[in-house]
Amino acid sequence: MNQFGVLTTAQECEDHEEWTYETIKKEGKYELELQFRAWYRKAFSMGLICYFLDNEGNRVRLFCFRHRVNGEDIYNPKESQIDFEKVEDGTKWICTVGPTKKGAMEWKDAEMVA
């Protein structure tokens, strides 16, 4: 785990049962509580997987990728400037999921629930 609480090893992900979380396949806005976060890397794509619970107890995961903002790397939903590497687990969010140009679902935006 790093200084922000992001899981960094395969064993930590295994211990949190990350395999039990599903991706969201339907466009919409979802109220979600952040459970934990883990790093994602595939080829040259760096990202962060955020694991959430919805109001019905369903386990879902959303991907945010590395973007350069004001000279810093941040890990954020596409239309947001919230760096999810640095948010706290246990916080609640309204997350917007929508289609890419190819029709797959992606995490578009996030707003913290007060």
Segments making up each domain of the chain, as ranges: 10-112
Average pLDDT, the chain: 88
**If you compute the radius of gyration of the chain from its CA atoms, what whole number of angstroms results?**
13
Tokens coding 39: 């790093």
Q: What is the mean pLDDT of residues 40-50?
A: 77
Tokens coding 17: 């049962």
pLDDT at 94 > cutoff 90: yes
What's residue 23's pLDDT? 92
pLDDT at 69 > cutoff 70: yes
What's residue 42's pLDDT? 66
**CB 34, CB 87: distance < 8 Å:** yes
What's residue 113's pLDDT? 93
Classify domain 10-112 by CATH number: 2.40.50.840
